Amino acid sequence: MTISKTHQKFARLTNNQRALSHPEEFLGPNWKDVLNFWFFIDTLSEEQIRYAERRFWNLDVADRISARNLAFDAATDTIMCHSDADEAFMATPGHAVGNATRELIGAHKILEQGKELKIIQLFLDL
């Protein structure tokens, strides 16, 4: 099984190699989407990641904070161990990627509320 750089760092941060072989235990029901996103991140250049970061920081402040808080709440509600949601964020190369990761972890909860995924959209067309 190929493992992304972010997934490797996540396993180190959790201090649990089981995170590599059983990511569903650490990332919740949307773990496949999270791992696919992390693989995608590995294909991006540093400039593309910086561009996504600029998109994130250029969002209207209220929209950015609302989307970030929604992603945080949904991720921490999804994962039993809240520190895993924090470590998933910290394993990523930046706030945009980290918040998009949280958004994917809790995507089902966000969508159940009738809300849309906003942060992950910043990675379209890179």
Q: Please give the residue range of the domain that contains residue 123.
A: 60-126
Residue 70, domain member (yes or no): yes
Over range 85-103, report the average pLDDT. 94
Neighbours of 9 (CB within 10 A): 17
42 within domain boundaries: no
**What tokens appear for 32 in the block?**
């496949």
| Chain Cα centroid distance, residue 98 | 5
Question: Is residue 99, in this structure, part of any structural domain at all?
Answer: yes
Query: pLDDT tens across 41-58, in order?
Result: 999 999 999 999 999 999
**What is the number of structural domains in the chain?**
1
11 is a domain residue: no
Q: For residue 7, is it within any domain?
A: no
Nearest CA to 8 out of 56, 48, 41 is that of 41
Going by the DSSP 8-state scheme, the letter that residue 73 receives in this structure is: H
Instruction: Evaluate whether residue 119 is within a structural domain.
Output: yes
Tell me the pLDDT band of 1, cut-offs 50, 70 and 90: low
Mean pLDDT of the chain: 94
| 92 within some domain | yes
**Closest to 105 in 3D by CA, of 92, 21, 93:** 92
Which parts of the chain fold into alpha helices (H)? 5-14, 18-21, 24-27, 31-43, 46-58, 61-78, 82-90, 95-105, 107-112
Does 120 reside within a domain? yes
